[in-house]
Structure 1
């Protein structure tokens, strides 16, 4: 969720801008050293309390601020955040709707309303809010992820993938979006689905992410998901295969033939790479056992 900008006229504006701590507990401790009490300091303290899960303290602080600053929209915003965090989604929606009424052109309240609509099960409304935010301000990448989630929940897998793949390469969330796109293509798919095109597209994304700098562990984990889905599909008879006859048999997937033996070798290879990179002995043993289970029968 977006964070309201700090009022530069606040006595603690400089202090808050200079906070170097990143973990909520460290931030909360650092806030105790503020030079003076102020509205921005109290708001930042509430945010830290919400991040730490200290809902009771945050609620009391919000009530105190509401009494002192009843017309400040930021207090209403944090009331919405508290309600959202505590599961009171209806109250959260009312709070964010009030902020939206005050700032109808701002994307932040639209994004918040999208989140509320999503958790309330109003998928069409959520999709509308997320799409509006993403189409008007690409800096709100969380809107693309939200749009993908609600489209996937509504059964629109193609639309979900399109939303994730619309995140530009310049974004720091590009890799995460492409990884999520691969998973959106393949997870919870039926062997009766025409998977060939999606398998090839997913494999292509993994290869491009490798060129983009995806680390080895994430690459191999993603590879096992793609190859594992392909193996299940092949073992089921590869019904519903797209393309001309023999297209699947002639294809290769992440360097493996798109048939049982080739896919088993590919899975074995990936699991052995993950085993070599594992930090814990138990994990390494489990990964080696997986590799052995997938290894096809050979003479040696």
Structure 2
């Protein structure tokens, strides 16, 4: 894990560092930024009382600052002096009736500052999340920008956000349809053949209840993504994939887990092929999804049935969003 000074050396004159959770150490951070010539490469952030913030900002007019506003300090909006006015306000709201997200309030902020909204998980921006945005931007990023006036969005899916913004500007559909030769299997779309044939779970309860609530596979809503969750050693789940073009396929899995190690699984195909064992890498959080490779396999045209088998001897605590098969060659 790099130190802040090491990170600043990399981003100097290239990017900005969000000093989230760093307010208690602001004086030490300021000294470091001033010494390394990176003051303009970092954004201080807090929800501290305005007087406390202004006392710190008085140290140097070059300090960049974002004021975090929730239900408890919505009245602080607009109370800074002209000399200490924040560059941005981060609006945190769990309901669209909260005072800090009302149109008149947002319009007032936009006259002098940027509007920062975080869509990483539920409760930071009501029900608008990255995961919901990836399925349909109309349920996330689109209203955050168009209805609520965001000029800054905090996300773990920055590449997809940039791509959506470009698509929005160009007037093209987003997300784009998968390219020919790509098959995506959603984790919740497992076999309908029932317990003992379509899946094996440690208990009969669907602990998440986000889909197929009367089955035994645990299905959760993780920040807007419908995923198989509460995965435990010895469990297995059956899937099918309709392959229309024969060839060699790269298989990837979209997973999340705050743990290290996070888990291990094997893919077993009915024709005798298998991939793995695949060690699931930590993504630092249950709602932070990443796509990781699971191997390559040659598949003929037709419907292929396969089993995701969870290693009974490895620690298991991860979530599975989907598996994707992408054609990369003829053989």
Would you call these one fold, judging by a TM-score over 0.5? no
TM normalised by structure 1 equals 0.31
Give the structure with the higher percent strand. 2
Q: Which structure has the higher relative contact order (CA within 8 Å, separation 6+)? A: 2
TM normalised by structure 2 equals 0.29
Give the structure with the higher percent helix. 1
